[in-house]
Every structure is written in C-alpha cells, then in structure tokens.
Structure 1
Amino acid sequence: MKKYCCTLLVCLLVLSLVLTGCSGSGVKTGTKAGIYTPGTYTAQAAGFGGKVSVTMTFDANAITDVKIEGADETPAVGGKAIEEFPGMLMEAQSADIDGISGASYTSKAVLAAAANCVAQAKGEDPNQKTSVADGTYSGQAPGFSWTGMIKADVTFKDNAITDIKVVEEQETYTGEIFYTILDNYIPRILEAQSLAVDGISGATLSSNGVRGCVEQAIEAAGGRSSEWYGEVAKSTKIVKKEGYDVIVVGMGGSGITSFLSAAQAGAKVFGIETTAKLGGQSATTSGPMAANSKVKMDEEFGGKEYIDADALYKAWNDYCGADAKPEMIRMAIDESGETLDWMIMDWGFQFSPMSSFILSPYPDWKIWCYYGGETKNRFGTNKTYMFENAVKKAQDKNPAAEYMLELTAQELLMDGDKVAGVKAVYHDGTIYEIYGKTVILATGGFIGNTDMMNEYLDGPANTVAMTVDDGDGIKLGLSAGGALMNPDIPPMVHINQVANLIKNNDLDADGKQVLTSLAIATDALAVDGTGKLWNTREEICLAPQYRYYNIYTAAQIEEIKTKGLAKVNKSMFMDQGGTVEAGKPIANIDEILKVGADYKNVLVAESADDLAKAIGCDGAALKGSLNGAGGPYYAVICSGYAYATCGGLNVDDAMNVLQADGSPIRNLYAVGQDSMGVLFSSDVPYTPYGGQAQSWALTSGRLAGANAAKYAMGK
C-alpha cells in the first residue's frame, strides 16, 4: 500500500506537554537535562484503515522532528491529514491539538501515538491510565452504515471496562458482517482492556465505530482515550497442518463453491478466510446470471430454454472484442445454468424468478436472478446463512472438509518450483503452514489495494465493497510464476454518491439528500478531472479517478435557496434518507455547502483559475468548459462506488493459472475476481447484462474445486 511519510525539521520554543498513551518504543540518546530525554521515540495507534505510526525526535527542550506513516489510511482524506499533522505538531510543540475535520479516526490515531511519544520522552509510563469513574457512559460514532451511527453504552468498574453494549445501530441493515463485531471485536477489547486490538477484517468501519464509542465513553468518565492503546501481545507460535488435497484461499462465493465442489468429490479440503464470517462479497451482491438452468426452465418457462445462448455469446464477445478469451466466455455461459441447478439441488440455495437487469441493453433477456430467502437486508436477502448452511452440509457429508476464519494467506509454500501449500497468519499472530497437493486462489480481486489500483488502474476507488479484497490471491499467483490477464479493466461501478459520505450528524438527512442531489444530478455542467466536459450519462468508471465535478454558479445556488431543487436525485442502494421535495426553497443551502466543503465533497472557488487549481486540472480546458459562466463556483464531486475489480490472473478452462508462455501451473487455480480478466476487455466497462461477475464466481469455483480434487486424488 502507498505510504504517507512526512518529515519536518525545525527547532521551536517548547510548550507544556500532557498527553500519554498507546504502545510505543523509544531510542534514547544523551542525558536528560531539560523537559525531555533527547532521542527518537515511536508509537502506534489504530487509524481508519489500520495502524498509524508516529515517530518523534526530541532534544532536551523541544520536538525537533515528526514522521508519520499510515499505509492503510484513505489517500484523499486520512493520507492528506497525515501530510498536515507533522507541521501542526511542530508548530504547537504539543500533542494536545485539534484533529482535522473529516479525518477523525486518522486524527485520533495520530494524536494518541504522538501523546505516547511525548510521554516516553518525558520519562513517563505511556501505559499509565488516568482514573475513570465507575458507571455506564454512552458514545456515538459512525461505522459502515450511511443511514445511522453506532451508539454504545460502556460500563467501567475499578478503572476497567466491564461491558460494552451496542444499543443502536444501522450496520445489520447492510449485511451480517456486524455480528462479527459483537461476537469477536467487543470481547477482545474487554479481554485486552485496550483499544489497540486489531479491527475485524472485512468490518473495519464497524470496528472503528465501536472503538469511537468507547473512546467517547472513556472521556465522559473522566479518562483520556489516548491512554487506552496499550500494546496487545501477539502469538509467536507456528502450527503445521499437512495432508490436504485442496487448499482454498478465500471463502467468499468463489471460494465456497470451490470448497463445496472439492468436498463433494471426496477431497480433504482446507479453507482459509481472512474475515470473521463466510460469504465474502457474494453475501452483499444481488445475484448471478444463469443461462438455461434446467430448474428454472421447468419452474418458469414450461421446460423450454429462456435465452438464446448463441446470441448472448455473440453480444458478449462483440462487446469485448479481441481483448477477452472467446472460449472462456462460452464456458461461462454454458456452465452457468448447471451451476445454478447444482446450488439449488445439492446445496439448498434459493433464487428469485429469472428477470432482466435494469441496466441491460437487452431488456427481454431474462438471464439474471436474485438470491432468494425470507430474511433481508439493504442489499436484498440474507445470503450469509445460505453460504454457511451449504458449508455445514458439505462438512456433514465429508468430515475431512475444514476451514478457519480470521486466517490470512501470506505466501505460497514451495517445494522447488512446485506449489506445496500456503503460509498464513491467524488474527492472534499464530503462523500456520498448511500443506496440500493443490491450491485455489479465491480472494476477490484487488479493489482494496492502493498500490495495485495505482499500478493497473486510475488510482484507488471508493467502494461499496469490503476493502479486504486487497489482491492477495493475485500476488500469490504472480509469486508462483503466473501471468496477468487484463488487470486494467475498469472496476465494476453501478452506484454514484458524494465522494466522502457524511455519516455523522454534521448534516441532517435532508442536508445529505441535498448534497447527494447536487452531486449526482445529470443536468448540471459537469467536468472530469482534466477540466473537460463530462457526459453524466457515461459510465463513471471511465472517468479519471472514477469521479466528475458538477459545477454550480453562485446565481444557481441562490436560485436553489429561494426556489429549491428542480429535481431530487437519490443514490441507488446508498441513499441516506431525507424528505426533500423538488421546488421547495432550501434556506440553509450555504451551510450544507460549507459542511460539504469541510468533508471535501465541495470545492469552492472565486475564479476559474482557483477552481482549476482545486480540481488539479488545466485552467484553459476548464475555462472552455465553463463557456463564460461566471463565479464564484461550487464544484460538487460525484464519485463512483465500486464493487470489485475485474482483471486478474490468466487461467485456462480447467481454471489453472497460466504462465507468461501460456503453460499451466498444474496444481494452482484461480477463480472469481482473481481470474475474471479472461472474460472482459480493458477498453469497455464491465458487461451490462446482469450478474456476470457473480455467475463467474460461482461457476469458476465449482469447476476449479472439481478439477483440483481430481488432480490431487489422481482420478
């Protein structure tokens, strides 16, 4: 991941320093002759996406250097804040400063770690905690949900946290991942008595929200939350597991179907999943494409085929041109119906009647279906339980089928030039060396890997997805000699919203709705990141950095203030509520835009040159696009929210990873987003027929599991 590292060297007058806390280590030099023991000290605290590290250098009476690293913070928000903090800390000569608006989690991490460094330099115990009063105190903080915050009651007794109870949340309406917070994260905080406990993979934002609630409760009880980041010990154990036929890396949709298929074939299988639940991204998607499923033909179409598979193949192949592999497109279509039948008949999955996709250019093609079932969340029915039940059914039939959650693959184990297994790390630090005859890579692509997004695409994207899909499987395949296929295919984007969702109460639901309407309006003057006019009907995944700018003049904003919005626009799937009506005056539009600017959703500029500088584009191009429209200007950023990347490892029809010369790595397979580049083109967006990615995840997994089991068992 990209590192943000900022250094500032200068000597200033010293102010009194008071904060202490979080884990850290120091290298002392010289003798104490003033306020500090001269030397360099380092500490870490949990930020928005991961650990934030602060290194501070002191002479006897001053802070002389500050370096901050936060590899996993969001580049546009947390990363920018990290760039600003060294100067702020140096100027104040103190860690007792305000955070940066819009980057609250990164700010808290930086200031907690800085306070720890100060405590070390002053010779104080950084793990010494200010006493907190007994009792129950409340906190409220944003998590993953964009429709409401997490509220928790935290109980203290004898300077210890004795209970954390979530009393309000909207997280479960966006999926089942929040239950991993209740079952795993909260108990670990209570056990460790530390907020330095790692967040739950796949539920980072929900982890942040609960941590934020506890921080507020500590402050309300008279303590300092920065002091509750004591280091959490990690295991140094190494565990060896041997004798497996098939090892599946990733237990989302493609990994689970790989697991089910291999287990069904009688193989000894071991599944590795980095999150704390099964299902991965497939548990949040709507459903798959399925061409001529026999179950669906019998139930809904009188036993007749409901799609001309040849016509679908021709349209798909023509759309992608020579960039995709025709034989793999053919296989994806022809095997998709059988996959749906297999999931229904063998594993108990439920699906809705076949329908056409809302964005499909072929509205008569009923090739897409939703996952079925009775329980629902914001993304449709609850898929997690279906995946869990299928895995349990496989284990009941084949006791040699195992899996572990919160286990992250680190590298492939090799026997010479042959893949021999997987080295992985458990959430507590325990290293697992898992040996087997075949390995299937099913880690969901690289949407969460900033470095890979920068290398292969146009930089990191906002996501509606779990950013735990960070390219691990693709990197493992490359390490074994595998080759890539179309890694530069634009990511899958179906949702537009403001660039930085405002999840707290700085704006009410109506204010957020107004900001969204301005951002995603299709009739505004829009420019892309180069300053050129942008057609808002175009796929936003083709725009530079997957965003564009809707520009409004001061006169237009004044008209909205007095006459209201001509049309209220709502974001598909990511609407934040609100009851704004078209044509109703919005008297507080100035305040809405101000908060939008604080969260870097709105750029305010007096002149075209100033606006070009704020966007980072060519002034002449922007002036041409403005076509004489006068300032001041308000550029409201519209951002695409991606589900996943599309390109990955090159594979053949057995799902074997291919080397650069086209030869297969016989015991290494790649499925789902880790190999979907064989189906699409770098020149056009993801296919618009509905459900191709989910279908490929399920179908490629079914085929790879069977093929890997057959190879491993010598059948």
Structure 2
Amino acid sequence: MKKHGCTLLICLLVLSLVLTGCAGFGGKKGMYTPGTYTAQAKGYGGNVSVAMTFDTNAISEVKIEGPDETPAVGGKAIEQFPGKLMEAQSADIDGVSGATYTSKAVLTAAANCVAQAKGEDINKKTPVADGTYSGQAPGFGWTGMLKADVTFKNNVITDIKIVEEQETYTGEIFYTVLDKYIPRILEAQSLAVDGISGATLSSNGVRGCVEQAIEAAGGRSSEWYGEVAKSTKTVKKEGYDVIVVGMGGSGITSFLSAAQAGAKVFGIETTAKLGGQSATTSGPMAINSKIKMDEEFGGKEYIDADAVYKVWNDYCGADAKPNMIRLAIDESGETLDWLIKDWKFQFTPMSSFVLSPYPDWKIWCYYGGETKNRFGTNKTYMFENAVKAAQAKNSAAEYMLELTAQELLKDGDEVVGVKAVYHDGTIYEIYGKTVILATGGFIGNADMMNEYLDGPANTIALTVDDGDGINLGLSAGGALMNPDVPPMVHINQVANLIKNNDLDANGKQVLTSLAIATDALAVDRTGKLWNTKEEISLAPRYRYYNIYTAAQIEDIKTKGLKKVNKSMFLDQGGTVEAGKPIANIDEILEVGADYQNVLVGDSAEALAKAIGCDGSTLKGSLKGVEGPYYAVICAGYAYATCGGLNVDAAMNVLRADGSPIKNLYAVGQDSMGVLLSSGVPYTPYGGQAQSWALTSGRLAGANAAKYALGK
C-alpha cells in the first residue's frame, strides 16, 4: 500500500506542475511568453514601428520609432506613448490630441505586439457585421473631412464609397486615391496597403474612414493590417535615348522636347499622376512671347527684357550665374509659344504679380481653362493631353507612374541608366544614353533641409520632392549650386492645421487670425523680436510667435478681434467678424495648444522654455509686458526648395571643376540655384520658378536627344 500511495503522490505533483505551467507549487501561468515583439502600422507620414518587451506578466519596455511623422505633432506623441503603454500595461489606451494617425499607428502596432506575446493568432479577424457603416477622418483638404460608406459581407470589405470630400477642392491628385488606393484595399483586404505617393494624406483619410467603419461593425481595425506581399522581380528595359526622372512640369517638357526630336524616351514618375508640383502652381513668367505680343500688345514687346535682367541680376548679386539668368529670361517667351502652338496649352492674358514691386511689369500669366480648384485651373489634363500627343507622334515615347528612381546605373564612371522600384516592389533597370533629373528639389527631405537650410518647413501640396534627383546627380560626381537659397514660402498659417471637428471653422479662423496678425508683438525661435512684415522664409525654422497677454485675450473675449486676417490659399472657411466678442476664446486657445499651435507660459521664463529659447533674450523682447502669455505660432508654408545641382546652358550637370557630365542633365528645382543667391529669397516677381521648370525642361530634352542621337 505504501508503494502505491507514493506513486499516486508523485503523479499528483507532476499534474500540478503541468497545470501551473511549471511556475512552482501553487503558482499561476503567466499572461505572456517572455521576449521582445515588434510590429508596424501606417502613420501620418509613413510606417511607425513598435518594439515591446514582455516578462511573464508585464510589459517591461516599449520602444517606438516613426521617422516620417511630423516632429511637432506626431514626434511629440511618440515621445509620450512608451510611458502611457507602460503605465496602462495595455494597448487599450487613448491617443494623443492632434496626432490622430500617429496615435492610431502606435496603438495598432502595440496591440499586435501584445497579441504576439499572448500567443494569439495575429492574422485572425474579429467578425464584422454585414452591412454598410460610415467613417469620417481628416485627409489633405483643410476645409472639411473625408466621409466614406464601407460595406461588409461575410467578413469581407466589398465596397468603399466616398460620400463627402474636400480633397478635389485642392487639386486633382485625389482621383488617384479613388482609382488606385481604394481598389487595392479591396483586393488585399488589408489596411497595410501603401498609400498613393503624392496623395499620402488623402490615403490616410480613406484608411481612417475604413478603420472607423470596421469598429462600428463590431470588428477591431488593428486586425486588418495583414502583410501585403511585395514583388521580388527585376525587369530590364534597354535601348532608350533619353530617360527622364520625374514627370512634373520640368520632366514633362523634357519628355515632350526629346520625343519631338525623335528620341526614344522613357519617363519615370513617383506619384500616380502627371504634372507634379506644376499642377498646383498658378502659372509661369514669360518675357515677350510672340503669341502674346500679337494677341495682346499689337505685335509689340510688352516688357524690356534688359530691365528684367538688370533687376534680377542686381537682386541676386554675385552668387547667381548671369548667363543663366539671361537664358531663363530670353527663352521664357519661346517656351510659352511652344507650349501653346505645339502642345495646345492654354494661358490667360499677361498680368503683373500682385506682390511685385514692379506693378507695371506684365510678365506673368495663369494657366487657362475652365475647370477650377483652390490652386486655379485644373492643369493635369493639359499635361496628360500633351504627353498623349507626344506619344501619338513618337511611338517610342513611354512613361510609368508610381515608379521611383533609386540609383543611377553606371559603367565605370559613365551613367548608363536608372534603377527604380515600382509600387509593388518590382525593380526596373532602365538603360539609356542620357538621363534628365527632374524631381522637384528637396523640400520633402528633412535631412537635406537640416543640412542645407534651417530645417524642415511646412509644405503646401506635394512632399515627394525629396531630393532624389539632386542626390543622384551628386552620386555621379555633380556639384551643388546655392543649395541654401531660402525655400519658396508664399503662405502663412498656424503651424499644424486642425482638420477635424475639434474646432469649428470659426474657431479655426480665430486661431489663424491670431497667428498671422502683423500688428502683434512677435519673436522668432531665438526669442528675438521679429518684424512680422519680413519674409518668413528668413525666419529661423520658417516660423515666428505672435505673443498675446492674458489681458489681450480677455479683451478679445469681450470686444472681439480688431482685424480678421485670412490665409491665402489655406483659409479654412470661417466667417468671424471684427469687433464681435469671442466668448469661447479660451477653448480655442486650449485646442490650439493641444495641436502645438499655441504655447502657454505664466512667466517669460516658462514661455521661453516652451519655445526653446533663451529666457533673458525673450524677457528683453517682451519689454516689461506682463504675463501670463499665449504664443500663437505663425508658420510659413513652402512650395519647393530653390537650390540644387550646378548646370550649364545645355542643362548638363557640372562637376566641381566646372566640367560637364555629358549625358546627365538637371532641370527645374533640381537646378534652379544657378538663377538665385544664398540668403536671398526667390525673386521680386511671380512665376519665375514655373518658368524655369518649363524652359529648362524644353532645352534639356532637346539637348539630350541631340547628344543621344549623335546630331
């Protein structure tokens, strides 16, 4: 009996160990399998990565990276999340105000990590109810949100229909989201599908709508981020005369000119549509177009080209290349005539630039046509029609959208082509005799903005202009020309547009008015007084701070704004009246602070800490004005950078010793530094950048074709 009793006792002990997970007598099984787990999700600007370390029953460490999120909003949110997740010991927490997409990405990736640590099937989706559910989220448009109806059947998304949007109010690129992004979500049944290049924020908006619809249907949106397979194929294309990298204004005119000369041309474009930043501009400068002279000025020249040259050259001083300024002026009218006559572009009558100190100079025209959006006429169809016409005349002219150049292909030191990646991951090796770089400068590259300028700027329209062309040129031995020319900043607004309903349009207008007022006490990032009528492109980090005291805010509450200031292009639609009390000004400032548009300090020292400047400097600028203080941030919004690669009159990229790289060319914002000067913003009249894009492209295309064809 003793022997059998002993055996039974041993069996019971073994069973106990098994049931407790070998955690000791009477212990409990842990919640997690110890280790570090990682996951990614789509944020505001790109992927957000989360790494979470678990011990048996707790989250012990959280690391988050989001290099493409905006530093002021998404970056600050990322800084807060490790502590929040550790404190809650859960991914089921609230996001950070003002950082909707970054917050959602962090929490989605964190939930994935938790599921992995628990041993759950991360590919399993909580069932959603059949039916149609709505979602609403901010996109690119700043006057209203996107709204979508999403239909589910048998746990599958069967339809995504946009029922309300303001995206087309700002341009044509939203149609690429409708035509490409939505079908890709439906096909993949995953929100991990890459957004459309050039339409990232609109893609984010659609994704946000679908996430909300999934939650409304009883599902968990974090479970709809299944991995989307990428192609591993490599495709080789050979025998081209001219390869054009970038199909915005400068790239398209390069393409048209080379095709017209009989060259076999291949165009590469990162975004899902033609036109690039040129589709958001008003129009080009054109000096003495023969067509315009005949139509509008009785056959006479309408501007003294020598006078324009003198003003331009004197303005830029010794840094610019006089021969290139002369070239830009003398060829601009010919380019306009060529676009009208050969490619059926439409332009309005010549006019002066509203902000020019030379109001009698009628050197600027708008793109013509009838269909309008916030940036003027719809121009995409003109670019598309011109490219189709070139292909009809030259069957050897090709292009691909959503194809991004990665590096120049070389044979020794000679450039022989371009390596590029398609949106699905396919690698293309494209070989040709010449390459034209037309990628639009580097406004979207934070590292280059830090290296050559005063850091990243707020941007208007496309941010895919991330320096690819300039870096490709440098890799081939090219040299830079004035990369530190201040960016084209034409618009002022709050630093971080509030696109959702946390404030109504009137509240947003009040915040805008405070930010861009020109009669407020203002300081720059160093705490020094700033003249609000100065070029904001010269302000440190392209922003300044309008400072209001508590007494001034109380005055606005009871008496209203003395003047209502509206932002050009970026107005959000409010109808605030001057002199009308604003009873909810405290709420407006509080929301503004949530979005990093308003900094608050009870003392000069506290405000200096919020701004990040020297306390004694700020105190001196305040000149004894008593707090508390509210600093409303005014930020400049840039179209593009101006400096780039050095080129000669043929648009050949030049080496540091001034010798040309015979088969490599650079146009548009990739080379506009030859026309401008370090430390001097742009030029004192409008349309010069667009004119250079179109003119340099026309000349480069012809010259590249001539070289490639041995003429």
TM-score range, shorter chain: over 0.9
SS class of match (2:661): strand
**Which residue among 583, 592, 598 is the counterpart of 1:596?**
592
SS class of match (2:134): strand
**Which residue among 356, 377, 380 is the counterpart of 1:360?**
356
Match of 1:95? 91
Match of 1:256? 252
**Which residue among 264, 269, 278 is the counterpart of 1:268?**
264
**Which residue among 71, 75, 81 is the counterpart of 2:67?**
71
**Which residue identity does 1:597 align to in structure 2?**
A
Match of 1:239? 235
Match of 1:125? 121
**Which residue identity does 2:658 align to in structure 1?**
G
2:561 aligned with 1:557, yes or no? no
Report deviation, 1:76: 1.2
SS class of match (1:611): helix
Report deviation, 1:391: 0.2
Structure 1 segment 141-160 matched on structure 2, within 5 A: 141-160=137-156
Match of 1:15? none
2:93 aligned with 1:113, yes or no? no
**Which residue identity does 2:280 align to in structure 1?**
T
TM-score (norm 2): 0.96
Structure 1 segment 470-485 matched on structure 2, within 5 A: 470-485=466-481
Match of 1:336? 332
2:451 aligned with 1:455, yes or no? yes
**Which residue identity does 1:696 align to in structure 2?**
W
SS class of match (1:644): coil
SS class of match (1:707): helix
**Which residue among 601, 605, 618 is the counterpart of 1:605?**
601
Match of 1:376? 372
**Which residue among 500, 522, 535 is the counterpart of 2:496?**
500
Distance 1:156 1:675 in 2: 50
Report deviation, 1:34: 1.9
Distance 1:167 1:238 in 2: 40
C-alpha deviations, 1:316-373, integer Å up to 9, x for none? 0000000111110000000000000000000000000000101111111000000001
SS class of match (1:476): helix
Match of 1:34? 30
Report deviation, 1:38: 1.7
Distance 2:622 2:336 in 1: 51
2:683 aligned with 1:687, yes or no? yes
Conserved 8 A contact 1:465-1:644: no
Distance 2:59 2:591 in 1: 34
Match of 1:171? 167
SS class of match (2:179): helix
2:511 aligned with 1:515, yes or no? yes
Match of 1:206? 202
Identity percentage of aligned residues: 89
Which one is further off, 273-282 or 33-42? 33-42
Distance 1:414 1:78 in 2: 39
Conserved 8 A contact 1:246-1:436: yes
**Which residue identity does 1:350 align to in structure 2?**
Q
Unaligned ranges ≥5, structure 1: 1-31
Report deviation, 1:438: 0.4
Distance 1:465 1:218 in 2: 30
Match of 2:393? 397
Match of 2:651? 655
C-alpha deviations, 1:548-585, integer Å up to 9, x for none? 00000111111111111000000011110111111111
Distance 2:665 2:558 in 1: 61
Distance 2:375 2:535 in 1: 22
Report deviation, 1:465: 2.6
TM-score (norm 1): 0.95
Conserved 8 A contact 1:239-1:430: yes
Q: CA RMSD of the aligned region, Å?
A: 0.9
Which one is further off, 547-556 or 79-88? 79-88
Report deviation, 1:64: 2.0
Conserved 8 A contact 1:162-1:190: yes
Conserved 8 A contact 1:244-1:435: yes
Match of 1:184? 180
**Which residue among 403, 407, 430 is the counterpart of 2:426?**
430
Match of 1:6? none
Match of 1:49? 45
Which one is further off, 86-95 or 680-689? 86-95
Report deviation, 1:33: 6.0
Distance 1:237 1:360 in 2: 52
SS class of match (2:239): strand
Distance 1:59 1:432 in 2: 45
Q: What is the number of residues matched between the two proteins?
A: 684
**Which residue among 74, 78, 101 is the counterpart of 1:82?**
78
SS class of match (2:387): helix
C-alpha deviations, 1:166-220, integer Å up to 9, x for none? 0000100110000000000000000000000000000000000000000000000
Distance 2:440 2:79 in 1: 31
SS class of match (1:414): strand
**Which residue identity does 1:477 align to in structure 2?**
G
Report deviation, 1:84: 1.8
C-alpha deviations, 1:268-316, integer Å up to 9, x for none? 0000000000000000000000000000000111111111111100100
Distance 2:304 2:199 in 1: 41
**Which residue identity does 1:560 align to in structure 2?**
I
Which one is further off, 263-272 or 109-118? 109-118
Conserved 8 A contact 1:445-1:470: yes
